[in-house]
Amino acid sequence: MKVKTILITGGAGFIGSHVVRHFVNSYKQYHIVNLDVLTYAGNLENLKDIEDAKNYTFVHGDISDDSFINALFQEFQFEAVIHLAAESHVDRSISEPLLFAKTNIMGTLNLLNAFKELWVDDWTGKRFYHISTDEVYGTLGETGLFTESTAYDPNSPYSASKASSDHFVRAYGETYGLPYVISNCSNNYGGFQFPEKLIPLCINNIVHHKPLPIYGDGKYTRDWLYVIDHALAIDKIFHDGKNNATYNVGGNNEWTNIDLVKLLCEIMDVKLNRAKGESQKLIQFVKDRPGHDLRYAIDASKIMSELKWQPSVTFKEGLMKTVEWYLSNAEWLESVTSGNYQNYYKTQYQE
């Protein structure tokens, strides 16, 4: 049987590393090529356990370099792409919007174009899977849910760049017949997440008795999904999703930031043998994020009914596993928070 060669982009990042590990371990019949430029968010340590697997190859390179991307597609003849590489942090998109356009829009376009050049004469058995976010839909008020037909209404440079890339994927489907699938997922949490995002940032700060910065009044609401459940959803969508369809993925698990951080503090007090309520004293309300979206919440009924996917862990179980992961990977946390992270933190939180 011919081995299917699949390109996974951004596989050294948070979600990408879970997806690469899952595909390398579960599908020996695939050759998984992980393309990553290794920005501050990409780390090959995330994939130490599978780096010598026979069905795995790492390629260091930039999706925004079109001639490199074209040559890579010619060399490997990828039959499928699972595209996760992106600049992914809203706060950084506010200070560096052009980088977000370059990576998220032009990078996606380069991949689409190289895929089209390779297969436009015969799309049989090919698939381009684009991983996106619920943030493209903008913000919800106090009620309602994002469905697959909610109009795009992005508010941050990050979400605008992701929305634009989603549109290009769809346009390649309509114009060139490129078989694609897109999923828009809610906020992920779990091991290997870079500690610029709320949950790992707070875990790291609690460990070090540092303030927990809560933007605005802390009433902003997110729908949290354990990263392994996202990786399993990606597997289902990649294999069984309909061509040219979109799937929303979410945990049906809404939390205000303040309630979430309080829960995290309770878990950490127990894990660190601290007195009840000690970590909560670190909470500090700080200046709000500009253009801060009030609420995200996903209606995941399509993927649940069509592809029989559902989250496998409750939020408390997932959060507990996440805290345990960070506490037993103190070296990883230490290495990613030294160097440039310190400068980022000082600028972002005006220490």
List, in sequence order, every residue forming a beta bridge with 8; answer none if it has no partner: 34, 82
Tell me how far apart the alpha carbons of residues 331 and 324 are, in angstroms, rounded to a whole number.
14
Judged by beta carbon distances under 5 to 8 A according to partner kind, the member of ligand TYD, ligand NAD, none in contact with residue 41 is: ligand NAD
Shortest separation between residue 245's beta carbon and ligand TYD, angstroms: 24
Given the DSSP bridges, would you call strands 212-215 and 283-286 parallel, antiparallel or unpaired? parallel
Between 28 and 219, whose beta carbon lies closer to ligand TYD? 219
| Tokens of residue 183, six digits | 């999923």
Q: How far apart are CA 58 and CA 76, in angstroms?
A: 12
The 113-142 contact track toward ligand NAD, x by CB under 6 A, reads: ------------------x-x---------
Binding to ligand TYD by residue 214, rule CB under 6 A?
Answer: yes
Residues 6+ apart with CB under 8 A from 304: 310
Distances (CA, A) of 254 to 146, 299, 309, 332: 13, 12, 19, 29
Catalytic annotation present for 122: no
Is residue 92 close enough to count as binding ligand TYD by CB under 6 A?
A: no
Say if strands 30-36 and 4-9 run parallel, antiparallel, or are unpaired.
parallel
Among ligand TYD, ligand NAD, none, residue 33 binds (CB under 5-8 Å by kind): none
Cβ closest to ligand TYD, residue 4 vs residue 289: 289
Member of 197, 225, 250, 253 binding ligand TYD (CB under 6 A): 197
Contact 103, 64 (CB under 8 A): yes
Query: In the set 8, 81, 86, 160, which binds ligand NAD (CB under 6 A)?
Result: 86
Q: Which of 8, 90, 163, 268 binds ligand TYD (CB under 6 A)?
A: 90
Q: Which range touches ligand NAD (CB under 6 A), out of 35-43, 110-118, 262-270, 287-295? A: 35-43
**By CB under 6 A, residue 157 contacts ligand NAD:** no
| Catalytic-labelled residue, pool 91, 134, 223, 293 | 134
Distance (Å, whole) CA 54 – CA 243: 30
How far apart, in whole angstroms, are the C-alpha atoms of residue 205 and residue 320?
17
**CA of 269: how far to CAs of 28, 188, 210, 291, in Å?**
42, 23, 14, 33
Residue 37 binding ligand NAD, by CB under 6 A: yes
Question: Quick check: 248 binds ligand NAD (CB under 6 A)?
Answer: no
Give the span between the Cα atoms of 104 and 78, in whole angstroms. 20
Using CB under 6 A as the criterion, which residues of the chain lie in contact with ligand NAD when the complex forms? 9-10, 12-16, 36-39, 41-42, 62-64, 84-88, 103, 107, 131, 133, 162, 185, 187-188, 194
